Amino acid sequence: MVSLARVGAIALLFVAAHLSAAPTAIVGVTLVDPSKDDAHAALKDATVVFDGDRIVAAGPSASVKVPKDATRIDGKGHWLIPGLTDGHVHFFQSGNLYTRPDVADFNAVMPYAKEVARNKAHLTSVFKVWLASGVTSVVDVGGPFWNFDVRDIAAKTAAAPRVEVAGPLISMIARPQLELDDPPIIKIDSPQAARDLVARELKRKPDFIKVWYIHQKGDDLAKQEEIVKAAADAAHAAHTRLAVHATELDVAKSALRVGADYLVHSVEDAPIDDEFIALLKKNHAIECPTLFVYSGYRLALSNTWKPTPDEERLGDPQILASMHDLDKIPADKRPPIVVRMMEKPNIEPPTIAMQNLKKLRDAGIPIVMGTDAGNIGTLHGPSVFREMAMMHEAGMTPLEVLRSATVNGAKAMGREDLGTIATGKRADMVLLDADPLADVGNFSHAERVIKAGVVYDPKVLIDSIR
């Protein structure tokens, strides 16, 4: 039987190919099925066999036949979970201080064009960070048209997660600070303009159309709703789902009334009510609460952000090295928002959003784990562990958190071949050395990550980009 150390060496040598032409069996592992209840989620002494990128058998070791030519991995003392999905990321953003000049303008010390060029050139490293964190699938819900190139590059890259994307955000407000030659956010003033932008995006076959539904004081909500409806109708006519950023209760209800399929933030301004839940159920909509991102901004811009042990171990080294640049940026070059936040840090958690998450959970609404990674202070990859900890703090059990990052993540992607470990499913799995159902902190204990049947050692992946 092959040891984990040996598997790590194999992954290093053959990172771009399957372990071998023969099948692979993980034997004696505790198999976790997040689609089941607490009493039935963990199957001890299980065996999982995968051949190529498909699982060909999964069940009790006593009943699963291991092919004679299979490579065996000893799973005793380990837990096997489906590969994780982050349902809300942005590849055009890096997570560092310089990635959103519309929020904090650091052009005096780092031109935004240089930051974007770095992000484009650094994609393969970011892909490895995601895999090393146990995340085998991500959904990028909005960015420049080069987002579609990100999806194509990921599909051709061995050490990369599965990637779904949306194109530029259909927005109620302009963000000129982000407008280079390919803006990620485009202000739309009419239903026809929304239809026109959707038509441009549909040529690239997006997985979602995304609306940035920002409603400011004095705005006409009814007129804004007409724009969102036009986008929804055009998307649905092409069998494409509508994702919406709507963080106020009235705005979120408006989005649902005209057909939103996926709310990528929690309501944060007021407690949700029965009407909101009824609208979610009517649309068969899902919600991604993205709790930590608010804290990420506050921590980073107040210069109080500190990496967790998981981020130190798994984070992108380039980004980690820049997270305390405020220590060396002269005071006269710090953006006003940073000056204010450094003088008076506000690190309060998003209490209302967390309370609303508990209500959604109690109402049986499908909840998807997502980080909004790429925003300032929310790193690609290991930020999932901060997010899952906050979801647990909000009232979800470890099993429910896992379900949000697997079964419901697959639902967000529209993928029936992902989310659980069963015969016929894709071989996307994470081998943990600690019980994920006992403590959400154990989700970060990946010894091996398997994506499309290829076994990766997280340490080897990170070491390859250092």
Residue 72: per-residue pLDDT: 96
Tens digit of each residue's pLDDT (9 = 90 or more) over 155-174: 999 999 999 999 999 999 99
Question: Where in the chain do CATH 2.30.40.10 domains reside?
Answer: 4-82+419-463
Q: What is the CATH number of domain 84-294+346-413?
A: 3.20.20.140
pLDDT at 414 over 70: yes
Q: Which of 134, 162, 158, 159 is nearest to 433 (CA)?
A: 134
Q: How far apart are CA 436 and CA 417, in angstroms?
A: 22
Residue 347: per-residue pLDDT: 86
Strands 262-263 and 241-245 come out as: parallel
Helix, coil or strand: residue 187? strand
424 close to 57: Cβ distance less than 8 angstroms: no
- pLDDT, average across residues 181-187: 97
Question: Quick one: 410 exposed, middle or buried, by C-beta within 10 A (0-12, 13-18, 19+)?
Answer: buried
373 close to 90: Cβ distance less than 8 angstroms: yes
Write the CA distances from 83 to 193, 234, 249, 420, integer angstroms: 39, 33, 32, 8
Q: Which of 87, 209, 207 is nearest to 138 (CA)?
A: 87
- pLDDT, average across residues 288-300: 97
pLDDT at 18 over 70: no
Q: How far apart are CA 201 and CA 229, in angstroms?
A: 16
Share of the chain above pLDDT 70, in %: 95
Question: Quick one: 250 exposed, middle or buried, by C-beta within 10 A (0-12, 13-18, 19+)?
Answer: middle
Spell out where 191-290 has E strands: 208-212, 241-245, 262-263, 286-287
Helix, coil or strand: residue 280? helix
Tens digit of each residue's pLDDT (9 = 90 or more) over 201-246: 999 999 999 999 999 999 999 999 999 999 999 999 999 999 999 9
pTM for this one? 0.95
8 close to 55: Cβ distance less than 8 angstroms: no
Strands 135-140 and 84-89 come out as: parallel
Residue 239 region, left (φ>0) first, then alpha (ψ -120 to 50), else beta? Answer: left
* Residue 357 pLDDT grade (very low, low, confident, very high; cuts 50, 70, 90): very high
Q: How far apart are CA 250 and CA 265, in angstroms?
A: 14
Question: Quick one: 37 exposed, middle or buried, by C-beta within 10 A (0-12, 13-18, 19+)?
Answer: exposed
Give the Cβ contact number of residue 259 at 10 Å.
18
Helix, coil or strand: residue 451? strand
- pLDDT, average across residues 148-152: 98
Sign of the C-alpha dihedral computed for residues 9, 308, 418 and 465 taken in this order: negative
Question: Where in the chain do CATH 3.20.20.140 domains reside?
Answer: 84-294+346-413
Tens digit of each residue's pLDDT (9 = 90 or more) over 269-287: 999 999 999 999 999 999 9
- pLDDT, average across residues 8-23: 48
Tens digit of each residue's pLDDT (9 = 90 or more) over 66-121: 999 999 999 999 999 999 999 999 999 999 999 999 999 999 999 999 999 999 99
Six-digit token string for 441: 């902190």
Per the document, the length of the chain is 466
- Mean residue pLDDT of the chain comes to 95
277 close to 363: Cβ distance less than 8 angstroms: yes
Q: How far apart are CA 163 and CA 18, in angstroms?
A: 20
123, amino acid identity: L
Residue 13: per-residue pLDDT: 34
pLDDT at 5 over 80: no
Contacts within 8 Å (CB) and 24+ apart, 247-252 = 248/215, 249/273, 249/276, 250/215, 250/221, 251/213, 251/215, 251/221, 252/276
Q: How far apart are CA 442 and CA 398, in angstroms?
A: 10
Give the Cβ contact number of residue 228 at 10 Å.
26
Class at the top of the CATH hierarchy for domain 4-82+419-463? mainly beta
pLDDT at 15 over 70: no
DSSP 108: T
Six-digit token string for 142: 């909005």
Residue 1: per-residue pLDDT: 57
* Residue 21 pLDDT grade (very low, low, confident, very high; cuts 50, 70, 90): low
Q: Which of 286, 222, 277 is nearest to 251 (CA)?
A: 222
Which residues 6+ apart lie within 8 Å of 302 measured at CB? 338, 341, 342, 345, 346, 347
- pLDDT, average across residues 176-196: 97
- Termini Cα distance of the chain: 31
Residue 466: per-residue pLDDT: 84
